[in-house]
Structures are given as structure tokens and as C-alpha cells.
Chain A
Amino acid sequence: MSPWTFILDHRGEILSATLDHFTLVVIAMAIAILIGVPLGMFIVQRPTLRTIALGIASIFQTIPSLALFGFLIPIPFIGGIGKRTAVVALVLYALLPILRNTYVGLTGIDPAVLESAEAMGMTRSQILFRVRLPLALAVILAGIRTATIITIGVATIAAAIGAGGLGTFIFRGVALVSDALILAGAIPAALLALIADFLLGLLERRLRIS
């Protein structure tokens, strides 16, 4: 059976696996953004905490994904086999680009702009919300874009710990030496990453100033 007829015959299952995959990524990204962006804002004025937070996030990013899943499984409450462990691992992976870009975006602003904002009598929170954040938005979004691409990729491996998604086809295909099964997972996963990259890139360019 050719891969194309296989994919056509199983389009229902592939579609639902794609949806599972997408949901996993969206949940993980939502949590990572909710943690990463406020944390990035928080560490701007706190050098010690900044070193610690960026250091820890880099460590998670460096651990190979399959190993990270392995480490998480024995941990009570967050660990075990299934989606929850996968989401935790994906969040840890997505955190560094979001955190780093939020920090870089907020601090990489023309000092003359910040100086005149302060001299005009803007309060610290007015400077943060009306000057720093709007000017950092494109850089923060670039971090979110990178994190999304990483998360879509790592989420395929999450199938190894029973999280479902498109990785299920790939792992089963490798085990059964079936090109058709592998492609049924690989093609939609690749498309998902390309489409996400394109759309977020479009948004990023619209937000970029200068």
C-alpha cells in the first residue's frame, strides 16, 4: 500500500491525532507564556534573580527531550505516564526563549526614550506598560515563535510517554518499519510547524517598529 492511500484511508485518525498534537502545544504554550512573560518583566530590575531564572531555564533547554521526559516520570503529582507529564516538559522547554526574549526586548530599548519617559514624569508602571512593553512586543513574539516551533517538535517525542499526538504514528511506524505510518505522523507535524512559523512571523513583522 502506498503512503498516500494509507494517509487517505486513515485521514480521520490522522486528523484527530493532529488535533491532539495541536491542543498539547497550545496548552503548553499558554502556560509557558503566562509564566515566561511576567517572569521576564519581573527580572528586568533584579540581576540576581535574572541570573538564576535564565540559568535554570537554560539547563532545561539543554537536557535532551527524551531524557527530560524520563526524569519527570518518577516525580509524584507532575510525573507519570500521559499528557500531564508531557505538558510539564513542553512548558520547561518553551520557557527559555520566551523568558530570554521578554528580558532582552524590555531592556534593549533606546536609553534616550527611557530617559525622556522618566523625565516627562511617567511612573514606573506607565513606563513599563506604555513604553517598554509595546516596544518589546515584536521581540517577545519572536521568542514565542521560536518556542512554538520547538514545542511542536518536542511534542512528537511526547508520544513515547503516552501523550498521544502525531508522534504516535511515527513511533509505531518505526517499530513496524512502515514508511506509510511514519509519514502519516511526520507530514502533518512538519506542516503544523511550518504554518505556525509563517503565521507568527507575519504577526511579528506587523508589530515591528523602526
Chain B
Amino acid sequence: MNAKPASISENLIEFRDVAYHINDIPTRMIVSDISLRIPRGETLVLLGRSGSGKTTLLKLINGMLLPPKGVVLVQNCATTEWNPIRLRRGIGYVIQEAGLFPHFTVAENVALVPTLENWDAPRTAARVQEMLHLVGLDPRDFAHRLPRELSGGQRQRVGVARALAADPPILLMDEPFGALDPVTRAELQREFSALVRRLDKTIVFVTHDLREALLLASRIVLLQAGRIVASATPQEFLRLDHAEVRAFTSSLSVSPGAFV
């Protein structure tokens, strides 16, 4: 046997000197010089302003974008070598507006990947129940509703349930709570951070909200103009001496005179 045993620190995702630019125009870099190792079980938060390249990194992981330079490895295999369909079935994906299928019920939405993977009906049904309970929705109440019959927060819960349904080792989340009102957002952030601790998932989470990053991350990677400018645990991050870090930390505090 020459297979290496999986170690705790095994990198599930790895960027090796990756650059991505639009339409073969190397001067219009979206991201460049990206080298990043994401070990199993980490919740990595990609923090940055709009247009800093966060979403591009996510799409490089699930092969919706392929790197013209460098290599992105997922489970030790380059995304260019993966069958894109197989790669994506093993990666949960949650986006801002949830992207639920409007013609599918909640149950059918959650059952999507298990159905694509040809799970038998009883196993799929049981899994749907389990997932809805997991995200705090009572299946008796919600399974047969259409997405338009849900609130924004409920839709986002279904989005998380759908992403987790086929038990993928990796979860990609692109500002999943960004479109919610502040109260619902805080509620979902709290529940999700508790959920993350229970699930053994490797999560890459994109946000421009430092508060959210501090709450959820085991490591924060700060992007600025397509480059990684900082990488630290939440505790270390607040003490970093970098202009962009300070720009984010100062956004947390409200100056005393603001409401006079």
C-alpha cells in the first residue's frame, strides 16, 4: 500500500501562485500572486471590499473559472484535471440571493444534488427532513412550500440546507447573509457559527463585513485589489499593522461624536 494516510493538516484546497484576468488581457488582472493553503476543517473567511477578487477565488475553487496561470488543487487534484461536474457535486455552494429554483418546492430544492446523484427516494426524503431540521425549519411546515412563499431569511436557510444535502466536504459561501435585514442577518450568523462547529466541513466564506468575519472565521484572509494582503486568526487580525486592515477595523467602531 502506498496510499498516504489522511493527516489532520491535509490541505483540502490549495492555490499555487494563481492569477486570473479577463479575456486574455493580462493587464486587467482580477487576482494575482495567490498562494493559499486551506486545511481540512478550516473556516476561511475571504474579506475584502467589492471588486477585490473574493468571488473570483471561490469560482476558481469549484472550476467555474479556470486559472490561466498557476494551479488550484482540490483534494490534491488540479481543477483543470477534475471532471467539472464531479468536482462541483462535492462542493456545496450558497450565494447571496440563495438562487433557489422558483419552480421547485423547498423539499425538491434541498433534494437537488442527492437526486442528481441518483440516491433512492427514501434516503433522499430522510436526508431532506434531516437538513431542514438542521437549519431550523420544520419540514411539516416548509417542505411543500415554494421559494416565493418564504421570507429572505428562510430562503437562505433552505440555501444552506441544499448546499449541505449531499454531505460535501467543502462548502463555498458568497456573502450568503448579505441581502438580509440586520436583525435576521445577526440571527443567521449566530446559528450558522454554531452549525459550523458541529459540522466537519471545510468552508470558504466570502464577505465584506468584518464583524461577520470575526464571528465565523478560524482564519481571515484579507484581499485588496486582487492580492492577499493579510492572513491571520481573528484575534491576530485586529492587531495587524496594515492600512487596509485598519480601514476595516475602523469601520467597526462608531466615533463618539457621530450622533450628536
Question: Which residue numbers of A lie inside 8 Å of B, CB to CB?
Answer: 110, 112-113, 115-123, 126, 131, 134-135, 209-210
Q: Report A-chain residues with C-beta under 8 Å of the C-beta of B86.
A: 121
Q: Provide the bound-state CA to CA distance between A209 and B108, in Å.
A: 15
Interface residues of B (CB under 8 A from A): 62, 64, 84-89, 91, 93, 95-103, 112-113, 116, 146, 148, 159, 162, 172
Are A119 and B102 CB-contacts (below 8 A) given A112-B96, A126-B116, A210-B148?
A: no
Between A and B, 8 residue pairs with Cβ closer than 8 Å are A113-B102, A115-B95, A116-B98, A116-B99, A118-B64, A119-B172, A120-B93, A121-B85
> Which of B93, B146, B148 is the one whose CB lies under 8 Å from A119?
B93
A121–B148 CA distance with the chains assembled, in angstroms:
24
Contact pick for B85, options A113, A123, A131, CB 8 Å: A123
- The answer for the CA separation of A135 and B102 in the assembled complex, in Å, is 8
Q: Kindly report which residue of chain B lies nearest to residue A207, judged by CB atoms.
A: B103
Number of A-B contacts (CB under 8 A): 61
List chain A residues, Cβ under 8 A from B93. Answer: 116, 119-120
Expressed in whole angstroms, the minimum distance between the Cβ of B177 and any Cβ of chain A is 15
Contacts of A112 in B (CB 8 A): 95-99
Residues of chain B within 8 A (CB-CB) of A120 are: 88-89, 93, 112-113, 116, 162
Query: Closest residue to A119 on the B side, CB-wise?
Result: B93
**Complex-state Cα separation, A209 to B104, whole angstroms:** 10
Given A116-B93, A210-B148, check contact A121 B99 (CB 8 Å).
Answer: no
With A131-B101, A135-B102, A209-B103 in contact, do A119 and B64 touch (Cβ < 8 Å)?
yes
Report the 3 A-B pairs with minimum CB-CB distance, sorted nearest first.
A116-B99, A121-B88, A119-B93
State A210–B149 Cα separation when bound (angstroms): 9
Given contacts A112-B95, A119-B95, 9 further A-B contacts (CB under 8 A): A110-B97, A110-B99, A112-B99, A119-B64, A119-B91, A119-B93, A120-B113, A121-B85, A121-B86
| Complexed CA–CA distance, A120 and B159 (Å) | 11
**Given A134-B103, A209-B103: A121 in contact with B89 (beta carbons within 8 A):** yes
Contact assessment for A119 and B62 in the assembled complex, using a CB-CB cutoff below 8 Å: yes
Chain B residues with Cβ below 8 Å from A113 are 99-102
Could you tell me the distance between the alpha carbons of A112 and B152 in the complex, rounded to whole angstroms?
14
**Chain A residues with CB under 8 A of B64:** 115, 118-119
